């Protein structure tokens, strides 16, 4: 059974700092890995999707990497801003097109 773990559970940084969020998964037989953002009491916004054949994806200040063989992904956020404060969720796509989510990292960027 696929399990997804995210570290740290919470992170508080000053504005402008670069930061890395970590995600690991137990079963490397995944199709894709996706990073989402969730604001309090809201739905999910897709940030980046990495296909299993890819190593990384970039969008603006965000860069996500994938090392399928070791079961790891990182989300790098450059020059963090208070508006980046949210919960970041990592999810892997497996059999049956099902998403398995991690518990998330709660990020707070202080101004």
Partner 1 sequence: GAVVSQHPSRVICKSGTSVKIECRSLDFQATTMFWYRQFPKQSLMLMATSNEGSKATYEQGVEKDKFLINHASLTLSTLTVTSAHPEDSSFYICSARGQLGNNEKLFFGSGTQLSVL
Binding site for partner 1 (CB under 8 A): 4, 9, 36, 41-46, 89, 91, 96-104
Nearer to partner 1, 8 or 16 (CB): 8
User: What count of other Cβ atoms lies within 10 Å of the Cβ of residue 65?
Assistant: 18
Nearer to partner 1 (CB atom), residue 45 or residue 81: 45
Write down the least CB distance from residue 89 to partner 1, Å. Answer: 7
Q: Which tokens sit at 14?
A: 């000053």
Residue 38, CA distances (Å) to 13, 51, 103 in order: 18, 21, 11
CA–CA gap between residue 88 and residue 27 (Å, rounded) = 21
Using the minimum distance from each CB to partner 1, give the nearer residue, 79 or 103: 103
Measured distance CA(54)–CA(76) in Å, rounded: 16
The minimum distance between CB 29 and partner 1, in angstroms, equals 18
Nearest-approach distance from CB 43 to partner 1, in angstroms: 4
Q: Using the minimum distance from each CB to partner 1, give the nearer residue, 29 or 79.
A: 29
Pairing mode, strands 105-110 and 10-14 = parallel
Reading the block at residue 41, the tokens are 């009491």
Question: Shortest distance, CB of residue 42 to partner 1, whole angstroms?
Answer: 6
């Amino acid at each position: 059974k696929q399990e997804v773990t995210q570290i740290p559970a919470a992170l508080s940084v000053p504005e402008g700092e670069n930061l890395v969020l970590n995600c690991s998964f137990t079963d490397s037989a995944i199709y894709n890995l996706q990073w989402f953002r969730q604001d309090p009491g809201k739905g999910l916004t897709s940030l980046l999707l990495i296909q299993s054949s890819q190593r990384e994806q970039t969008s603006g200040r965000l860069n996500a990497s994938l090392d399928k063989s070791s079961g790891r992904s990182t989300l790098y956020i450059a020059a963090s801003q208070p508006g980046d404060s949210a919960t970041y969720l990592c999810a892997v796509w497996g059999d049956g097109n099902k998403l398995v989510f991690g518990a998330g990292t709660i990020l707070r960027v202080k101004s």
